[in-house]
């Protein structure tokens, strides 16, 4: 199956072009945009880990190593498309336009962090595994019914392919020709379980065959191939050709979450041969004359300032409102719930 689904790349580890199919579409602005977003979300990710270690953030799921997959895919979207991320895809969310302070808030146990910005359709991160695939199928089906050209992208990991919802979502999208890109980030571990114990199939891309949709396997650490292949799948979807499954092969550099210790289950030397996606893009830029030290420096400073500001905003955010516990369960609060709310607020006042 590996031979049926070879890993597609634009660039090799040294940042040299190995497949010129998309060469005419590569330009300085695109490359700089991709690099900018990768650098931005990596800085965010490292800041979040550091905040967690200082007790300023709750348990956090880092994505370092997966920046090319998340940025390339999110950059390919149009503003009216739908994004269905998991708890590890806040890099993609930030690239697509999610609020940064809100993203920090989410990891601080604040529901406010789930609210998408005006004008963007971003679902709250799927915490249960694979449950977002049928949602993506449904939202895309709705776009098709409404006659728009908008599409959905569903993010999920290698472990998600073992859940029933993966298969049900793929099947629905395919049966109803819903414009969905099923974007798999195969980082080779579902918490501690390596892919060879997760499935007996050699690739994830081949699972597309069962649902009669195209399956593509790409180098998820090559931001350009991710961008172009997701763009291509989205274009097919918008034309009414239905869904595509993309397997982006990548690597989670760090732990599953800040509560996890990967040294318990990953051999120390595993992943050492993987070239960091940002370094690959840097090499590509240098090879092609797009690397501009002054721009890189200025970008880094701008991003650091943006992140510091977002941390400040998160930490100066109003304290959680107890009434929020009750107010968003129904459009109209049932009388018994209103009584529970009233009685608890009275209790709180009595204890002050």
Partner 1 sequence: MAMEMRDLPKKETKDQMLTIVQAVNDGMRTLLETDDRIMLLGEDIGKNGGVFRATEGLQEVFGADRVVDTPLSEAGIIGASVGLAVNGFKPIAEIQFLGFIYPAYEQVMTHVSRLRMRTMGRYTVPMVIRAPYGAGVRAPEIHSDSVEALFTHMPGIKVVCPSTPYDAKGLLIAAAEDPDPVLMLEPMRSYRAKREEVPSGRYTVEIGKGKRVKEGTDITLIAWGAMMPVVEKAAEQAEKSGISCDVIDLRTLYPLDRDLIAESVQKTGRAVIVHEAHFTGGLGNDIVSMINDTSFLYLRAPIERVTGFDVPVPFFALEEHFLPTPARVVQAIEKAVHF
- Is 97 or 320 the residue whose CB approaches partner 1 more closely? 320
CB of 199 to partner 1, least distance (A): 7
Check: CB of residue 258 under 8 Å from CB of residue 53: yes
Give the span between the Cα atoms of 222 and 248, in whole angstroms: 9
> In this structure, are residues 226 and 248 in contact, taking their beta carbons and an 8 Å threshold?
yes
Residues that bind partner 1 (CB under 8 A): 58-59, 61, 87, 108-111, 127-129, 159-160, 162-165, 190-193, 197-199, 257, 259-260, 264-265, 320, 322, 324-326, 329, 334, 336-337, 340-341, 344, 347, 351
Identify the three-state secondary structure at position 181.
strand
Using alpha carbons, select from 187, 130, 121 the residue that is nearest to residue 155: 130
DSSP 38: H
Active site residue 280: no
Nearer to partner 1, 305 or 325 (CB): 325
Crossing angle (nearest 10°) for helices 164-175 and 132-146? 10
Q: Nearer Cβ to partner 1, position 167 or 238?
A: 167
Distance of alpha carbon 140 from alpha carbon 181, whole angstroms: 10
Closest CA to 132 of 176, 168, 95: 168
* CB 113, min distance to partner 1, A: 8
Task: Give phi and psi for 121, each to the nearest 5.
Answer: -100, 95
Report H helices in 176-318: 195-198, 223-238, 277-287, 293-315
Q: Where are the alpha helices (DSSP H) in 192-274?
A: 195-198, 223-238
Least separation, in Å, of the C-beta of 40 and partner 1? 23
Q: Which is nearer to partner 1, 6 or 334 (CB)?
A: 334
How far, in whole angstroms, is CA 170 from its chain's centroid? 18
Write down the least CB distance from residue 130 to partner 1, Å: 8
Cβ contact 110:64 at 8 Å: no
The residue from 37, 90, 144, 256 that is catalytic is 256
Q: Could you tell me the smallest distance in angstroms from the CB atom of residue 232 to partner 1? A: 29
Answer yes or no: 252 catalytic: yes
SS3 163: coil
Cβ proximity to partner 1: between 261 and 292 the closer is 261
Say whether 90 is catalytic. no
Sheet of strand 82-84: strand arrangement: 121-122, 82-84, 152-157, 180-186, 244-249, 215-219
Exactly one of 42, 88, 252, 280 is catalytic; which is it?
Answer: 252
Shorter beta-carbon distance to partner 1: residue 33 or 112: 112
> In terms of DSSP H, where are the helices of the chain?
28-53, 67-75, 90-96, 100-106, 132-146, 164-175, 195-198, 223-238, 277-287, 293-315, 324-327, 335-350
Q: Provide the minimum distance between the beta carbon of 10 and partner 1 in the complex, in angstroms, as a whole number.
A: 31
Distances (CA, A) of 340 to 92, 199, 351: 39, 47, 17
**Residue 275 C-beta: closest distance to partner 1, Å:** 27
User: What Rg, from alpha-carbon coordinates, does the chain have?
Assistant: 21
Nearer to partner 1, 162 or 287 (CB): 162
Among 22, 265, 317, 344, the active-site one is 265
* Torsion angle, alpha carbons of 69, 75, 76, 77, to 10: 120
Task: Return the active site residues.
Answer: 252, 256, 265
């Amino acid at each position: 199956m590996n031979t049926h689904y070879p890993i597609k790349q634009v660039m090799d580890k040294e940042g040299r072009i190995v497949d010129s199919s998309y060469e005419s579409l590569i330009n300085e602005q695109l490359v700089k945009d991709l690099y900018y977003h990768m650098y931005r979300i990596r800085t965010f990710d490292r800041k979040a880990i550091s905040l967690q270690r200082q007790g300023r953030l709750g348990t956090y799921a880092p994505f370092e190593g997966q920046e090319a997959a998340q940025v390339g895919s999110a950059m390919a979207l149009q503003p009216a498309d739908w994004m269905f991320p998991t708890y590890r895809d806040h890099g993609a969310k930030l690239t697509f336009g999610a609020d940064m302070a809100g993203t920090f808030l989410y990891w601080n146990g604040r529901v406010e962090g789930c609210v998408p910005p005006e004008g963007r359709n971003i679902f709250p991160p799927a915490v249960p595994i694979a449950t977002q695939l049928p949602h993506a199928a449904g939202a895309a089906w709705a776009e098709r019914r409404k006659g728009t050209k908008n599409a959905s992208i569903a993010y999920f990991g290698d472990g998600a392919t073992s859940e029933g919802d993966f298969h049900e979502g793929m099947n629905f999208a395919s049966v109803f020709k819903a414009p969905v890109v099923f974007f798999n980030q195969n980082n080779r571990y579902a918490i501690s379980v390596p892919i060879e114990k997760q499935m007996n199939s050699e690739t994830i891309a081949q699972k597309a065959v069962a649902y009669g949709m195209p399956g593509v396997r790409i180098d998820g650490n090559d931001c350009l191939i991710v961008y172009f292949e997701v763009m291509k799948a989205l274009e097919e979807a918008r034309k009414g050709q239905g869904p595509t499954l993309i397997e982006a092969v990548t690597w989670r550099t760090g732990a599953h979450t800040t509560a996890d210790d990967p040294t318990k289950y990953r051999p120390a030397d595993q992943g050492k041969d993987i070239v960091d996606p940002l370094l690959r893009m840097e090499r590509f830029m240098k090879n092609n004359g797009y690397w501009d030290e002054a721009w890189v420096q200025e970008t880094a400073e701008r991003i650091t300032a943006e992140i510091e500001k977002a941390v400040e905003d998160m930490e100066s955010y109003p304290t959680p409102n107890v009434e929020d516990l009750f107010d968003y369960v129904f459009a109209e609060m049932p009388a018994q719930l209103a009584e529970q709310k009233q009685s608890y607020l009275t209790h709180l006042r009595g204890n002050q």
